[in-house]
A and B are shown apart, each in its own frame.
Chain A
Amino acid sequence: MRTKSTNILPALFTYGFVGLMAFLSVFPFIWMVLGATNASIDIIKGKMLPGEALATNVANFFTLVNVPLVFWNSAKVTILATVLTLAVSSLAGYGFEIFRSRQRERLYSAMLLTLMIPFAALMIPLFIMMGKAGLINTHIAVVLPTIGSAFVVFYFRQSTKAFPSELRDAAKVDGLKEWQIFLYIYVPVMRSTYAAAFIIVFMTAWNNYLWPLIVLQSNETKTITLVISSLASAYYPDYGVVMVGTILATLPTLAVFFFMQRQFVQGMLGSVK
């Protein structure tokens, strides 16, 4: 029989490792919150204690940034991108899984291959396309390339494997057309999958930086990520203000995650029970 002392070391190592990983994950948030309460010079000096400059930083942020406009731009782009991505990608995932054929499998494989193409390689052709369509400096240009997400299609197809085919049969016998089966049966049954995908797509869209940086050129169209970046890249950046902006930019994604946490976990484990 093993003694207690021989069991302590592995447990200690596990807890130590997990603790370190947790600290590394949480540290940027702690730094962000502490930074927002300090003056820029203190942040540069590496002060890691709460300061007294929070009110000043907040006031400066609201003076430098047209907060309602920037948030409205981000919200518009994010909501449009999320709703359209979920609608298009879930339809595609459902279609690929339910209506199988050799040709569709080839198309699906080709689509998955696009996951291997880095976005940097797509930027220029996409920019030219948007330019020709007259969409540069519009939010549509930000949203359009994100809608047909190969990853989200893949995610929905995998989840659809758990969708019972007998539900579809029962719906057919009940007189539903294919689009009605999708809308009235598939969507409600797969709501956890939608919730998980919603969180992933929402976060990606909200935090999207590189592509909006390229296509959004006027201050009236810029999103929160671009504005924070421009604050950080000023000649004398005020890091206290940047931290306030970062906190504000983080709040919507945090809220979405906390409200939909249960569905997110369910969706990741499999929607259909």
Chain B
Amino acid sequence: MSELQLTGVRKAYGGLEVIKGVDLDIKTGEFVVFVGPSGCGKSTLLRMIAGLEEITSGDLIIDDIRVNDVDPSKRGIAMVFQSYALYPHMTVRENMGFALRFAGVPKPEIEKRVKEAANILELEPLLDRKPKQLSGGQRQRVAIGRAIVRHPKIFLFDEPLSNLDAELRVHMRIEIARLHKQLAATIIYVTHDQVEAMTLADKIVVLRSGVVEQVGSPLELYDDPANLFVAGFIGSPKMNFLKGVIEIGGDGRAYARLPDHGNEKITVDPKGLKEGMPVTIGIRPEHFKEDGSASLDLAIDMLEHLGGETFAYARHGRGDLIVIETKNGRGLKSGDRIAARFDPACALVFDEGGKRMR
């Protein structure tokens, strides 16, 4: 069943359109992550779903009811903010029960729900503390608790982990994933951190300049990106892009000639390709393998040894840096010349406009 639907949703501030017609279906219990660079409109879209921003045109439907003009508190949503937005003059208990108090929920019921949420989030010993007496992680848990007590249909998270340090972020990420399983809740989560997106999401929505670039499961987006933007955005370190020109052989096979790499030719799938067509070839850092049939002649610029693997940053002449992930990189050093081999079947081809050719 579809819990939330966006149909042709647009948002404009005067003449400036920031959300340019978003269509999206989110099913009950799904964990959906909006991801994209700063200013792509992901937070605005989330705020529109919450009712904190007006929808200029289009329909927002929750549980088959159009809620464009419905008050935020009556949409059946709860939101967790980046800065936690805890009321500083109230205790944890009061913060968590505040919305229920205003909704006219009887006191014993409020107490019960606060206790339940505190139990789930291990907040019981902190219930009588004020937010300023809590650590960042504890505040974040209270903010989540405040959302849980409302028993919402949909949880909205707006970059909830970006104020936490790296270690705590990993811990809270696991907590949120656990909570999603435990509550079987529908979650819409905004982040610019693609590791969060990849690890948490059932479905990722990649946004750029107010447009949905692609929707899919994390691995779908990683393995089968629809365009150059998604290919570059998903994955860390990001995908390598090489400029190429298509040559069609007499046997009907297609090759991409790489002018910046000594006119090295790699075999590509000929579907949709024409002689002389400029293309971009995408190769992920981990797709460089010693047994690959294609090869790039590169000089190592810099190395990052992470213990288990090494990232080699290399280039051909004065060309762009190419990132290579290798398990056998301990013996490498800057300035070494290497033949970076890869399987051409792993290379993705994008046309001049950035659209994936397949």
Query: Does B81 contact A174, Cβ atoms closer than 8 Å?
Result: no
Which residues from chain A contact B72 at a C-beta distance below 8 Å? Answer: 172-173, 175
A167–B82 Cα gap in the complex (Å)? 11
Query: Does B78 contact A173, Cβ atoms closer than 8 Å?
Result: yes
Partner pick for B88 among A171, A173, A189, CB 8 A cutoff: A189
Query: Does A166 contact B81, Cβ atoms closer than 8 Å?
Result: yes
B282 at the interface (CB under 8 A from A): no
In A174-206, which residues have CB < 8 Å from any B CB? 174-176, 180, 185, 188-189, 191
Known contacts A166-B82, A273-B132; A173 and B50 CB within 8 A of each other: yes
Query: Does A173 contact B77, Cβ atoms closer than 8 Å?
Result: yes
A191–B89 Cα gap in the complex (Å)? 10
Known contacts A174-B98, A175-B99; A169 and B52 CB within 8 A of each other: yes
Which residues from chain A contact B71 at a C-beta distance below 8 Å? Answer: 175
Partner pick for B99 among A174, A185, A191, A273, CB 8 A cutoff: A174
Query: Does A172 contact B88, Cβ atoms closer than 8 Å?
Result: no
* Chain B: minimal CB distance from A221 (Å): 40
Which residues from chain A contact B162 at a C-beta distance below 8 Å? Answer: none
Query: Does B87 contact A173, Cβ atoms closer than 8 Å?
Result: no
Which residues from chain B contact A247 at a C-beta distance below 8 Å? Answer: none
A185–B74 Cα gap in the complex (Å)? 20
Which residues from chain A contact B52 at a C-beta distance below 8 Å? Answer: 169, 172-173
* Chain A: minimal CB distance from B339 (Å): 53
* Chain A: minimal CB distance from B72 (Å): 5
A68–B143 Cα gap in the complex (Å)? 53
Which residues from chain B contact A191 at a C-beta distance below 8 Å? Answer: 89
In B34-71, which residues have CB < 8 Å from any A CB? 47, 50-52, 71
Which residues from chain B contact A171 at a C-beta distance below 8 Å? Answer: 87
B103 at the interface (CB under 8 A from A): yes
A173–B154 Cα gap in the complex (Å)? 12
Q: B50, B82, B86, B88 — which one has the most chain A CB atoms within 10 A of its CB?
A: B88
Known contacts A169-B79, A185-B87; A176 and B50 CB within 8 A of each other: no
* Chain A: minimal CB distance from B71 (Å): 7
* Chain B: minimal CB distance from A182 (Å): 14
A240–B9 Cα gap in the complex (Å)? 78
Query: Does A174 contact B83, Cβ atoms closer than 8 Å?
Result: no
In B91-140, which residues have CB < 8 Å from any A CB? 98-99, 102-103, 132
Binary B-proximity of A119-155 (CB < 8 A = 1, otherwise 0): 0000000000000000000000000000000000000
A169–B146 Cα gap in the complex (Å)? 14
Known contacts A166-B81, A166-B82, A273-B132; A172 and B51 CB within 8 A of each other: yes
Which residues from chain B contact A188 at a C-beta distance below 8 Å? Answer: 87, 89
A237 at the interface (CB under 8 A from B): no
Partner pick for A170 among B74, B85, B89, CB 8 A cutoff: B85
Residue of A nearest to B73 (CB): A175
A272–B132 Cα gap in the complex (Å)? 11
* Chain A: minimal CB distance from B86 (Å): 8
Which residues from chain A contact B83 at a C-beta distance below 8 Å? Answer: 164, 166
Which residues from chain A contact B85 at a C-beta distance below 8 Å? Answer: 164, 166-167, 169-170
Which residues from chain A contact B98 at a C-beta distance below 8 Å? Answer: 174
Query: Does B87 contact A189, Cβ atoms closer than 8 Å?
Result: yes
Query: Does B51 contact A174, Cβ atoms closer than 8 Å?
Result: no
Which residues from chain B contact A172 at a C-beta distance below 8 Å? Answer: 51-52, 72-73
Which residues from chain A contact B51 at a C-beta distance below 8 Å? Answer: 172-173
A175–B99 Cα gap in the complex (Å)? 7
In A209-250, which residues have CB < 8 Å from any B CB? none
Which residues from chain A contact B146 at a C-beta distance below 8 Å? Answer: 170
Q: A166, A174, A188, A273 — which one has the most chain B CB atoms within 10 A of its CB?
A: A174
Query: Does A189 contact B89, Cβ atoms closer than 8 Å?
Result: yes
Query: Does A175 contact B87, Cβ atoms closer than 8 Å?
Result: no
Which residues from chain B contact A180 at a C-beta distance below 8 Å? Answer: 102
Complex A-B, nearest 10 residue pairs according to Cβ-Cβ distance, in ascending order: A175-B73, A174-B99, A170-B85, A166-B85, A188-B89, A166-B81, A175-B102, A173-B72, A173-B79, A172-B72
Q: State the B residues within 8 Å of A (CB).
A: 47, 50-52, 71-74, 77-79, 81-83, 85-89, 98-99, 102-103, 132, 146
Q: List 28 A-B contacts (CB under 8 A).
A: A164-B83, A164-B85, A166-B81, A166-B85, A167-B85, A167-B87, A169-B50, A169-B52, A169-B79, A169-B81, A170-B85, A170-B86, A170-B146, A172-B52, A173-B73, A173-B78, A173-B99, A174-B102, A175-B72, A175-B102, A176-B73, A185-B87, A188-B87, A188-B89, A191-B89, A272-B88, A273-B88, A273-B132
Known A172-B51, A173-B73, A188-B89; 19 more pairs at CB < 8 Å: A164-B83, A164-B85, A166-B81, A166-B85, A169-B47, A169-B50, A170-B81, A170-B85, A170-B146, A172-B73, A173-B52, A173-B78, A173-B79, A173-B99, A174-B99, A189-B87, A189-B89, A273-B88, A273-B132
Q: State the A residues within 8 Å of B (CB).
A: 164, 166-167, 169-176, 180, 185, 188-189, 191, 272-273
